[in-house]
Amino acid sequence: MEILAQRQRQVFRKGNDSFDIACERRSLSGSVSQRACVFCGSRVVLYPIADALHLIHGPAGCAVYTWDIRGSLSSGPQLHRLSFSTDLREKEIIYGGENKLYGSLCELIGEYSPKAAFVYSTCIVGIIGDDVEAVCKRVSRETGIQVVPVHSEGFKGTKKDGYRAACEAIFKLTGTAPVQVAGKYSVNLLGEFNLAGESWIVREYFRKIGVEVTAVMTGDGRVDDIRRAHGAGLNLVQCSGSMSYLAQMMREKFSIPFIKVSYFGIEDMAEALYSTAAFFKDDPSIMSRARELVRDEVNRIYPAIRRYRRALEGKKAAIYVGGAFKAFSLIKALRHLGMKTALVGSQTGSREDYRLLKEVCDEGTVIVDDSNPLELSSFIVEKGVDLFIGGVKERPIAYKLGVGFCDHNHERKVPLAGFEGMLNFSAEVYSSVMSPVWEFAPRNAKRVHNGA
């Protein structure tokens, strides 16, 4: 497979190449990137805020493709699961869409009484000259509901710039409500989206060790929690690619320190609890409860993990995910299952992410940035992997080649965070890799037939 000349520096083989991976670039036109756009970055981050109105300002497409798109659960309001668009038509393209935006906001706020509203700008909004900021201000003033513009025009950068725009939008809410009398030890969970109820699992761990969660941003999110988030003592940042910027802003404005964590896999989940406990070191009982919890949980899940490992030992995996930070946890989690990672990549990793990835990977592992179906499929074949971890767009690449697949994207319906998440992850990997159906897939059938 010939990699496009302008992409060659975004593909790296550990052991062969000197480390100089190019990343954080715009997607190359015609390369068929797996990334979406700025709007997508903003939309995925803000989506789980369940009591806010999410209005997408533009023609209907951007809204319809993001209707009920994430597996983010809410324990209460479900407003985030509806899709709202100003559905701009030719008339508005010519004369501007401000009136329609104004009317839509007023009607929808009247109908759904949201706690706040986000207005996402799509590609054409700036081009047709709409002053979204002014409309949002006016509606806020008239309705008393804070209306926050999200500067998410698709072409204004990459998905990562969309994360940044979402962080800016959230930051407009933080600190706008008085701090409730919180426990002494409280944290915000940033970059945790409550996919399939993962926030609830993680919250429960923190409750057990004596740490209160002030706000989750944005899983099972509530506007009022975000407004009060500045009362927490510590920000825990998962999915650092999307939320580090918010953590930095909160550190600057509210002097809240942050640490980067991950809740995937045994080590990383344990590490998240330990580093939180270490931060609140004036109460050593937090650390002892954390140790106890980790010990109990690991003892609980380990027998099952070992059974899975017996079957999976020596199998090879490929990982292609949105953010590189998740990839570290996955490599470690796969090692618990006796599996090696032969290919790893992400849509939006940074140089630092890739440098760390290189460190944890085995020799010969291929590392890719902003890859595409042809590159991914050719590396899967070259490396002979048994499992591909990715999202919906990567799934058919694996399946067509007779390779197992685990969905670790934001659409997943199975919680993979925490200790029980590790159990679910192992079960999902096992049930895909060990399925008898692969024997019929032509690639494998031929291998079996040839006695290989």
Residues 376-395 contacting other proteins, CB under 8 A: 377-378, 381, 392-393, 395
Interface of this chain with other proteins, residues 272 to 291, rule: CB under 8 A: none
Q: 130 or 428: whose CB is closer to other proteins?
A: 130
Nearest alpha carbon to residue 188 among 158, 218, 154, 153: 218
State the Cα torsion 293-299-304-309 to the nearest 10°: 100
Nearer to other proteins, 108 or 272 (CB): 108
The residue within the footprint of other proteins, chosen from 173, 215, 397, 406 (CB under 8 A), is: 397
The distance of closest approach from Cβ of residue 53 to other proteins in the complex, given in angstroms and rounded to an integer, is 10
**By CB under 8 A, is residue 401 in contact with other proteins?**
yes
Cβ at position 448, least distance to other proteins in Å:
13
| φ, ψ at 218 (rounded to 5°) | -130, 15
Which stretches of 119-239 are DSSP H helices?
A: 123-127, 132-143, 159-173, 198-209, 223-227
> Got the DSSP string for 221-257?
B-HHHHHTGGG-SEEEESSHHHHHHHHHHHHHHH---
Tokens of 290: 């954390």
Contact (CB, 8 A) for 79 and 250:
no
CA 145 to chain CA centroid, nearest Å:
28
Q: Kindly tell me which residue out of 399, 420, 427, 434 binds other proteins, with binding defined by CB under 8 A.
A: 399
Least separation in angstroms between residue 14's CB and other proteins is 24
Q: Which is nearer to other proteins, 311 or 381 (CB)?
A: 381
Pick from 8, 17, 75, 82 the residue near other proteins by CB under 8 A. 82
**334: nearest Cα among 322, 342, 346:** 342
Kindly state the tokens that stand for 182. Answer: 């919180």
Q: Which of 113, 21, 73 is nearest to 350 (CA)?
A: 21
Task: Please identify, using beta-carbon distances, which residue of 20 and 90 lies nearer to other proteins.
Answer: 90
CB of 139 to other proteins, least distance (A): 13
Least CB distance to other proteins at residue 84 (A): 5
Nearer to other proteins, 262 or 372 (CB): 372
| Total residues interacting with other proteins, rule: CB under 8 A | 78
- Non-local (6+) Cβ contacts of 60 within 8 A are 85, 87
Q: According to the binding rule CB under 8 A, does residue 443 interact with other proteins?
A: yes
Binding flags for other proteins, 129-168, as an x/- string (CB under 8 A) = -------------------------xxxxx----------
Burial label for 352, CB within 10 Å (0-12, 13-18, 19+), is exposed
DSSP code, position 371: -
User: Which residues in 37-76 contact other proteins (CB under 8 A)?
Assistant: 37-40, 55, 58-68
Stretch that binds other proteins, among 104-112, 245-253, 360-368, 423-431 (CB under 8 A): 104-112
Options 192-200, 233-241, 257-265, 367-375: segment touching other proteins (CB under 8 A): 367-375
For other proteins, which is the closer residue by CB, 353 or 370?
A: 370
Minimum distance from residue 338 beta carbon to other proteins (Å): 27
Q: Of 10-39, which residues contact other proteins (CB under 8 A)? A: 26-39
Residue 266, judged by CB atoms within 10 A of its CB (0-12, 13-18, 19+), counts as buried
Name beta bridge partners: 283: none
* Closest distance of CB 447 from other proteins, Å: 10
Q: Which is nearer to other proteins, 141 or 449 (CB)?
A: 449
- H/E element holding 287? helix 284-312
Strands 11-13 and 366-369: antiparallel
Scanning residues 402 to 441, which ones bind other proteins (CB under 8 A)? 402, 440-441
Show the beta-strand stretches assigned E in 48-144. Answer: 52-57, 84-85, 116-121
Write the DSSP assignment of 334-355 as a string of letters.
Answer: HHHTTPEEEEEEESS--HHHHH
Q: Among 10, 72, 74, 86, which residue sits at the site for other proteins (rule: CB under 8 A)?
A: 86
- The nearer residue to other proteins, 97 or 197, going by C-beta atoms, is 97
Q: How far is the CB of 93 from other proteins (least distance, A)?
A: 5
By beta-carbon proximity to other proteins, the closer residue of 251 and 446 is 446
